[in-house]
Amino acid sequence: MRELLGRITALDPEAGAAVRVITYFDSLAGAGVEPIVRGAAVLTGLPAGFVDPERAVAVRVCPDGAVDRGVSGPDASWCSVRVGEGGGTLWLERTGDPGPVEAVVLDRGAAALRLHLELTGPRGGDRETLVQVLVDERVAAPMRLRAARRSGIDARARVRAVAVYGERARVVAEHEAPVDGAERAGVGPVVGVVDLPGSWRDATRALRFTAEGRGVDPGPRVVRAEELGGLLVLADAVGRGWEPVPDVVALERVAHGGAASLEVLEAVAAAPSLRAAAAVLGMHHSTVQEGVARAERVLGWPVRDVAGRLRLQVALALRRLSRTA
């Protein structure tokens, strides 16, 4: 690690400094508020402070180690960041925007403070809070294992993260059903406890491929990341402000013509044949065939051959991603 850090520093001093900051805060697993704030001060050479009125916590530390516990909060012009859902604030006594190193210090310092307060505060035994710690990629592995033990999960367990629409993260054991009933959810791959952030990242990407399952938003309500394969890359490509491609625009024209046509296309894209799609929809084969013919005229391409069906599947996936961007 030291050799790698030396190489990074030689290539880019700022990048090397940022890696040192990350390594430093990761090493503070289990530390209290004051050591974290002191680290922020030492790493930047600036006075640093943290206040959380809700928890009656207040501390300011100078680079030389002097501590002041009578502070009330930062000046509005200083670099600062909110910590958690309460009123906590971590700051560096520097005006203007933070530099690259200061920005990393604020980010990692805030993550370390939030984790410490969540694990030791009045809500420290709240399983929902602990689950958020388990899936947070900014949390060091030792703290993730500690949160797992406190939530009743064995450190050697095989688990997965689940992203349920409109809810916070969920962690379930490998043998457990990831969702209940008709929940809309993205299911991450099974991993070890320390790798849960990766499972959560894939679960949230998979969630974007889900749909309401009816009307103008047909499609699966539960999607497993393992089944998407390379399609997960599309979730990274389609974000806010994404300009829909012509095929997605064509699907919208189909939707405006009636939700039934869009539901037929979804069934055709997911089924091995028109007869199988008709069975899923509870329609006669000829009715589905007529619906597909009408939709093809609007789309501008055939969907009953291999190439057209693949094009339809991608277009439907892109449409769902654009609706959840």
Residue 107 has pLDDT above 90, yes or no: no
Question: In whole angstroms, how far apart are CA 144 and each of 73, 131, 270?
Answer: 30, 9, 39
How do residues 45-74 score in pLDDT, each as one tens digit? 999 999 988 777 889 999 998 999 888 889
Mean local confidence (pLDDT), 280-296: 89
Residue 89 in 3-state DSSP?
strand
Percentage above 90 pLDDT, the chain: 49
Predicted confidence at residue 11, as pLDDT, reads 43
pTM over 0.75: no
Predicted confidence at residue 72, as pLDDT, reads 84
Please give the distance of CA 32 from its chain centroid, rounded to a whole number. Answer: 27
Domain ranges of the chain: 2-120, 127-226, 241-323
Q: What angle do CA 140, 143, 147 make, to 5 degrees?
A: 135
Instruction: Output 127 or 10, whichever has higher pLDDT.
Output: 127
Q: Which CATH class is domain 241-323?
A: mainly alpha
- Beta strands 169-173 and 191-192: pairing type? unpaired
Distance CA 216, CA 71 (A): 55
Helix 13-26 to helix 100-120 angle, to the nearest 10 degrees?
10
Q: What is the DSSP letter of 179?
A: S
Taking a C-beta distance cutoff of 8 angstroms, is the pair 265, 316 a contact? yes
Predicted confidence at residue 70, as pLDDT, reads 85
- C-alpha neighbours within 13 Å on the C-beta side of residue 15: 9
Distance CA 226, CA 191 (A): 12
Label residues 195-205 b or e (16+ Cβ within 10 Å = b): bbbbbbbbbbb
How do residues 196-235 score in pLDDT, each as one tens digit? 999 999 999 999 999 998 888 999 999 999 999 989 999 9
